[in-house]
Amino acid sequence: MRFGRHCLRYVASFVMALFVVASGCHSRQAGPANGLTQVRLQLDWYPQPEQGGFFTAQQMGYYKAEGLDVTILPLPQYGSVAQLVATGKAEFGLGSSDQVLEWNSNGLPLVAVSATMQHDPQAIMVHTDSAIHDFKDIEGHTIAAQTGATWLKYVISRYGLHQVRQIPSTLSVANFLADRDHVQQIFITSEPFFAKQAGADVRTLLISRSGYDPYRVQFTTRDFAAQNPDVVAKFVRASVHGWQEYLRNPSPTNAHLLTLNPALNPVRQARIRSNSWLPKITPRRGRIHLLRPFNTVTAIAGHHGRDM
């Protein structure tokens, strides 16, 4: 049963995180400075409202209240969040639970410590008049996706597809606008908005509907988690507080994000702000509790391209 599977995945993920955070070992502080422990959070893209809770925690002083001096780093061009965290360039990074598993299988000892989205907001985007209405319909089509995209391998296997050609994603909507047959992997809160701003009518299909549904998580190295369980707990606790405040009043953080990423604009901010797509998170006995488990991202589909 779908609800049961999600609940089990939710509990298992956070039991693992709690084991790390609540470890009984004594912590080794990660570089105290002026009474605060310096911590770096590596984003997986440029500053965006999708990361708003972390910026709120920084701006409102929630991290400092926990004794942390948190620097939030945008992803460098051609940068890898996993490599940056694994090599000590940052203590925490943003990614997805499937990526953490893959990184571990490739020799990077990383572990998820908390999650902000129970359902992944990645999707495929097509023009409204496209013949693609379900994943089985991508047979015979070319799709622009991230190199090595595991979700696409899963979809091809599950739906028994044999003629799907993959090309690298450019992380832009330019090719989509120029080609009405273009099929593109996207983040549902980003590319559909810009495509519609450019005059395109789009539809989207959430990848989670195929059954491939990872969390969006924060992760660190296994060594850092084992040696600094108190820092991990403080970071998670302050981040939860930041997300609660951002969901209650996003305007101050959104104004700050505009200064960090001029590519954002007030129209997009308003449309994101008007939808309850962001995860609802509350601390409960040291855990993160996600509310509305089936609708963390689908609410925006009506504005950013209908979910088919």
Same domain, 180 and 244: no
The amino acid occupying position 98 is D
pLDDT at 189: 82
Same domain flag for 10 and 130:
no
Amino acid at position 230, single letter: D
Q: Which of 185, 210, 235 is the last residue of a domain?
A: 210
| Phi, psi angles (nearest 5°) of residue 292 | 50, 65
Domain boundary among 154, 183, 210: 210
User: Rounded distance, CA 89 to CA 74, Å?
Assistant: 12
The CATH code of the domain that includes 188 is 3.40.190.10
Last residue within a domain, chosen from 210, 238, 258 = 210
CA distance 306 to 93: 31
| Whether 25 and 102 share a structural domain | yes
Determine contact, residues 44/51, Cβ cutoff 8 Å.
no
pTM score of the predicted model: 0.76
Q: How many domains does the chain have?
A: 2
Residues 135 and 205 in one domain: yes
pLDDT for the residue numbered 34: 79
Cα distance between residue 233 and residue 113, in whole Å:
9
Same-domain status, 149 and 290: no
Quote the CA–CA distance of 99 and 112 in Å, as a whole number.
10
Say yes or no: 57 and 147 in one domain.
no
Query: What domain range is 196 assigned to?
Result: 122-210
Per-residue pLDDT of the chain (308 residues; tens, 9 = 90+): 443 444 444 434 443 444 444 444 444 445 565 799 999 999 998 898 889 999 999 999 999 999 999 999 999 988 899 999 999 999 999 999 999 999 999 999 999 999 988 888 999 999 999 999 999 999 999 999 988 899 999 999 999 999 999 999 987 899 999 999 999 999 988 899 889 989 999 999 999 999 999 999 999 999 999 999 999 999 999 999 999 999 999 999 988 998 898 777 656 555 555 544 444 443 443 444 333 322 333 322 333 333 44
Domain identity same for 8 and 100: yes
Note whether 282 and 168 are same-domain residues.
no
How much is the pLDDT for 293?
29
Q: Look at residue 82 in the predicted model and tell me its pLDDT.
A: 96
Q: What is the pLDDT of residue 170?
A: 86
- Same domain, yes or no, for 15 and 99? yes
